A and B are shown apart, each in its own frame.
Chain A
Amino acid sequence: MSERSVEEDLGMRESFIDTTTDLLAEDPRTALVLADISAASFAPAAARHPDRVLNVGIREQLMLGVAGGLALTGLRPIVHSYAPFLVERAYEQIKLDLDHQAASAVLVSVGASFDRAAAGRTHLSPADVALLDTLSGWTVHVPGHPAEVPGLLRATVAAETSAYLRLSALSNDHPYAGAGDLVVVRDAGPGAALLVAVGPVLDAALAAATGLPVTVAYTHRPRPFDVAGLRALAGTEVILVEPYLAGTSARLLSAALADRPHRLLTLGVGREELRRYGAAEDHLRWHGLDPAGLRQAVARFLTPATAAV
């Protein structure tokens, strides 16, 4: 995650707002449910589509309940708030008002793990993807660049299944197109370790891998994970870098490679509540997700092969 891109929060969020506004105009099945967050930005869309842009106030349980009800009538709801309020606070509504009803929606969050670090623990959500991972059939996108957002949002809204788009204040320098299959960004040749970077941690991972025998692949879609791509690229050493709770995708990678000897290193946000404020960049450093921290962890993992590095 490049430091210059903290301001890209507006980029991802604005990209979401613009695309959703277009979708509301293009498809009368599309509806938007808010709990005050971003409501002002959707005011023009609400004026044009008052029956399909629904701000329920600061009522996140109702936000998801309404989404479930809308879906049961045949609409395609997009549900949006800060990640901890959208996923953590309303988890049972996601489980029961959507999944148990066989209803689906597209959930779009902002805030990510620690975009608003100065706001403290209440606004941090490193466990959102892990929580959704307790459910079945969800598509999860973690865009790494604002330009990736419109296509992903349109694709998930056009689909019939539930999806979660995790927007962040942090981003990579360049977007990557595609549906989310692994893309090789740096090829270190045969026998190299494979590092898989999810979303906005790619640039830091690339910087960390400089000079190391590590192939770097990127995805913005941790669910469903590109198992076939992983099996095609992976050798015996695999490193996974995720911008949310460390190890969230470990079970999938382990299962995908269960038939071959391998070593797996999973890096991400730690479980400990740090009780520190600062900026997102500070938290990246404290969780070892900055280039220096990642390089140290990767080099240690590869020590038998790269002791001299």
Chain B
Amino acid sequence: MTSLATIATRVAEAAAPLDGRHPVTPLLERVRAGREFGPNVYSTLDVLWVLYDRVLRITPATVDDPERDRFLLSKGHAVAGYYAVLAAKGFVPPDWLDDQGGPESRLGDHPDRTLVPGVEIGSGSLGHGLGLAVGTALGLRAQGLLDPRVYVLVGDAELDEGSNHEAIAYAGAAGLANLTAIVVDNSSATHGWSGGVATRFTVNGWTAATVDGRDPDALHTALTGQHGHRPHVVVAVVDNQA
């Protein structure tokens, strides 16, 4: 494995394609290694990139800084793009991507926070990230750390898990203004969300923005548009066929 000290140079070589492709495409291809990825990966890539490129106040040098923003990937099965973004931003060496899932790899099919620099939670079993995010937001607030924000990304199908609704209801009641949930809505929930995903949050006092999950500027505006004393949800709608 490459030492973190060499990351910047390696990233410059590996990322930033000049042919108009997504900035992390070459890195994602290294993770993919010829395998087929589903909508769970591709639907999440744009929002992950906007978060790490334009929103989150965290760098490889500040992964332990109490004042850092936190990003929690709850839908851990979308991890391939996450690893690619982390590599693009210098949190992990790009050559870690080449052995993803191997016996000596730190990068599993779901992320482990103890193995991957910059990963805030281990996830995989659905319905855990939002509760952990609520606790993280409460912990920051209790310690007077009022500037960092907590971002947690879930899927629309993941919302089927009842634990999410415990967290949504309580976060609204508690007025967790330092919490932003991002729901990547690729219409994969088995029974759908009548009335739209956002209403499930707003009924509990959240503010909400529903945007095109492929539109970087719209995502950025929604992700940075939180205000007031309420938790915020950004529903990133993604057409799997697009």
The CA of A66 and the CA of B174, in the complex, are separated in Å by 12
| Residues in chain A near residue B142, CB distance under 8 A | 31, 51-52, 70, 73, 75
The CA of A28 and the CA of B141, in the complex, are separated in Å by 13
Question: Which residues of chain A from 90 to 116 have any CB-CB distance to chain B below 8 Å in the complex?
Answer: 92-93, 96-97, 100-102
Interchain CB contact under 8 A, A61 and B163? yes
Interchain CB contact under 8 A, B139 and A69? yes
Q: Is the interface of A mostly helix, strand, loop or mixed?
A: helix
* Chain B residue with Cβ nearest A95: B125
Interchain CB contact under 8 A, A69 and B133? yes
For the A-B complex, the count of residue pairs with Cβ-Cβ distances under 8 Å equals: 100
Contact with A along B130-144 (1 / 0, CB 8 A): 111111111111110
| Residues in chain B near residue A68, CB distance under 8 A | 131-132, 135
A74 beta carbon closer than 8 Å to chain B: yes
- What class of interface size applies to chain A in its complex with B? 20 to 34
* Chain B residue with Cβ nearest A102: B114
Q: Is the interface of B mostly helix, strand, loop or mixed?
A: helix
Interchain CB contact under 8 A, A59 and B170? yes
Contact with B along A171-200 (1 / 0, CB 8 A): 000000000000000000000000000000
* Chain B residue with Cβ nearest A75: B139
Interchain CB contact under 8 A, B170 and A57? yes
Interchain CB contact under 8 A, A101 and B166? no
* Chain B residue with Cβ nearest A54: B138
> Which one of B122, B133, B135 contacts A96 once the chains associate, using CB atoms below 8 Å?
B122
Question: Which residues of chain B from 110 to 162 have any CB-CB distance to chain A below 8 Å in the complex?
Answer: 112-114, 120-122, 125, 127-128, 130-143, 145, 162
Question: Which residues of chain B from 162 to 212 have any CB-CB distance to chain A below 8 Å in the complex?
Answer: 162-163, 166-167, 169-170, 173
Known pairs A51-B141, A57-B170, A66-B138; A97 contacts B132 (CB<8 A): yes
A222 beta carbon closer than 8 Å to chain B: no
Contact with B along A62-74 (1 / 0, CB 8 A): 1011111111111
B133 nearest CB across to chain A (Å) = 6
A126 nearest CB across to chain B (Å) = 25
B79 nearest CB across to chain A (Å) = 15
A56 beta carbon closer than 8 Å to chain B: yes
Interchain CB contact under 8 A, B66 and A66? no
Known pairs A70-B135, A101-B121; A61 contacts B143 (CB<8 A): no
B98 nearest CB across to chain A (Å) = 26
The CA of A93 and the CA of B130, in the complex, are separated in Å by 12
The CA of A229 and the CA of B162, in the complex, are separated in Å by 46
> Which one of B122, B131, B145, B169 contacts A66 once the chains associate, using CB atoms below 8 Å?
B131
The CA of A64 and the CA of B138, in the complex, are separated in Å by 13
Known pairs A65-B131, A74-B139; A101 contacts B113 (CB<8 A): yes
Interchain CB contact under 8 A, B125 and A92? yes
Question: Which residues of chain B from 82 to 134 have any CB-CB distance to chain A below 8 Å in the complex?
Answer: 112-114, 120-122, 125, 127-128, 130-134
Most central of A28, A65, A71 by chain B CB within 10 Å = A65
Interchain CB contact under 8 A, B140 and A73? yes
| Residues in chain B near residue A70, CB distance under 8 A | 135-136, 138-139, 142
| Residues in chain A near residue B128, CB distance under 8 A | 65, 93, 96-97
The CA of A96 and the CA of B128, in the complex, are separated in Å by 8
The CA of A194 and the CA of B234, in the complex, are separated in Å by 63
The CA of A73 and the CA of B143, in the complex, are separated in Å by 9
Interchain CB contact under 8 A, B163 and A69? no
Interchain CB contact under 8 A, B122 and A69? no
B238 nearest CB across to chain A (Å) = 26
Known pairs A64-B131, A68-B131; A59 contacts B166 (CB<8 A): yes
Interchain CB contact under 8 A, A69 and B66? no
Interchain CB contact under 8 A, B138 and A72? no
Interfacial residues, chain B to chain A (CB-CB below 8 A): 66, 112-114, 120-122, 125, 127-128, 130-143, 145, 162-163, 166-167, 169-170, 173
Known contacts A65-B135, A73-B66, A96-B122; 20 further A-B pairs (Cβ under 8 A): A56-B170, A57-B169, A57-B173, A61-B131, A61-B163, A62-B134, A62-B170, A65-B130, A65-B134, A65-B166, A66-B135, A66-B138, A70-B136, A70-B139, A73-B136, A73-B142, A74-B139, A75-B142, A93-B128, A102-B113
Pairs across A and B, CB under 8 Å, 24 listed: A31-B139, A51-B138, A51-B141, A59-B167, A59-B170, A61-B166, A62-B134, A62-B163, A64-B131, A65-B134, A65-B135, A66-B134, A66-B135, A69-B134, A70-B136, A70-B138, A70-B139, A70-B142, A72-B136, A73-B136, A73-B143, A73-B145, A93-B131, A101-B121
Rank and list the top 5 A-B pairs by shortest CB-CB distance, nearest first. A69-B135, A65-B131, A73-B139, A66-B135, A59-B166
